[in-house]
Structure 1
Amino acid sequence: MRQLAAMVGISNPYLSQIENNLRAPSAQVLNNIATSLGMDPEALKVTDPDDDGDLRAAIRRDSNLTPAQRRALLEVYGAMLAANRADSDR
């Protein structure tokens, strides 16, 4: 993690927040991460039209929540969406 953060030019805690979906990286940071990993930057971009990025972004920005609470909300929300998709696939 430390090596990647250094290669990208960001702090290790910031990279950890990105990894845990607590912060959304800028386009430049996303491009730097992809380039450092030898990937096409487009491969890291969310393209799912059903992704509710606004809600997830709002949860990530809410300063009234602790990092653990943000993670929990995002996990519960993701699990609910996955359950709904599984139900609709039957």
Structure 2
Amino acid sequence: MGAALKLGEYLREQRRSAQLSLRQLAEAAGVSNPYLSQIERGLRKPSAEILQQLAKALRISAETLYVQAGILDARERDELEVPAAILTDPLINERQKQVLIQIYESFRKENAAAGAAERSEQPEQREKKPERFEKRQESATSDEPGEDAGGDDAEEEADGAVPVWEEDHR
């Protein structure tokens, strides 16, 4: 499927979900009715400026249309999908949409900064030391209060080494 046809189908879907006629959207976007019809049928590929006008009229992000038209790189798509979904949600108002997008973007920046800090660590700092954990064996046969329920404390190397059992001489 060509980018123009994919864009046209997406525009038609967005127009219908906004409950706009072809004529209403064309008027709101400042384009002719026949031109919009050709875009929806995949016969014309609109400029970024026209896409921006259509996005404004549909109350969706222009970036979403740029991705559909193949103007934006696919790598940028992930960054745009959440804001686009927020902007197209008819159940939340414009102020709520902007607040949600700001929160989302702040989380992305925070996580990107944390990821950059991790990547800049020295390799020897990133080496993982063998994990040690305590293993307690319990037995249902011991009912004495204060008595260890059937076992000694054990430490085992995470790399599969043989565990060393130490006796408790308290």
Distance 1:50 1:84 in 2: 18
Asked if 1:65 is matched to 2:101, the reply is: no
Query: 1:2-47 CA distances to partner (integer Å, 9 max, x unpaired)?
Result: xxx98x5649xx38x9xxxx622345xxx9xxxxxxxxxx5xx355
Q: Does 1:48 align with 2:66?
A: no
Superposition TM-score, scaled by structure 2 size: 0.30
Task: Pick closer, same or farther for the CA change 1:50–1:24 going to 2, 3 Å.
Answer: closer
> For the residues of structure 1 that align with 2:76 and 2:95, how far apart are their CA atoms?
27
Q: Paired residue for 1:23? A: 60
Q: Give yes or no for the alignment of 1:87 onto 2:114.
A: yes
- Asked if 1:78 corresponds to 2:105, the answer is yes
Pairs aligned (count): 67
User: Percent same amino acid at aligned positions?
Assistant: 17
Structure 1: runs of 5 or more not aligned: 32-41
Larger radius of gyration: 2
Q: C-alpha distance in 2, partners of 1:84/1:50? A: 18
- Looking at structure 1, the residues matched to 116 and 81 of structure 2 have their Cα atoms a distance apart, in angstroms, of 25
- Unpaired segments of 5 or more residues in structure 2? 1-28, 31-48, 118-170
- Could you tell me the TM-score, scaled by structure 1's length? 0.51
Structure with the larger strand share: 2
Would the alpha carbon gap of residues 46 and 67 (structure 1) be closer, same or farther in structure 2, given more than 3 Å must change?
farther
